[in-house]
Amino acid sequence: MSARERSWPVPVALVGLSAIPIMAGTLRLIQLAGGPAVIPADHRFAGFPLPLVVHIVGATTFALVGILQFMPRFRRRHLAWHRRAGRALAVAGLLVAISALWMTLFYEA
């Protein structure tokens, strides 16, 4: 098996693992923006939705940009982009973690 044949399973698996949370987050953002309630409403987020929005946008960015980090051919061809994306991923990861802590500590159960 060549290296090219072995490089695709990880990105494909990451796309599969990311698809459902990204779709759910997108539906929640649409609902928060005043769109139809496709998923059950949650009263905890109605008063102060900013941490949830930061969490969803950060996690979506982390998932989509992170997939490209695991593609060796793309990484070799775009090394400068790969480095900048890594820094952006670190920021996105911190935003996701901080917003998750905020929601855990300050939103009522």
Domain map (residue ranges) of the chain: 3-106
Average per-residue pLDDT for the chain: 91
pLDDT band at 27, cuts 50/70/90?
very high
Mean pLDDT of 11-17: 92
> Which tokens is 32 given?
């928060």
The confidence score (pLDDT) of residue 65 equals 95
Q: What's the pLDDT at 46? A: 83
pTM, to two decimals:
0.87
Q: What mean pLDDT is predicted for residues 30-53?
A: 91
- Contacts for 55-58: CB closer than 8 Å, 24+ residues apart: 55/95, 55/96, 55/99, 55/100, 55/103, 56/25, 56/26, 56/28, 56/29, 57/29, 58/92, 58/93, 58/95, 58/96, 58/99
Q: Would you state the pLDDT for residue 106?
A: 93
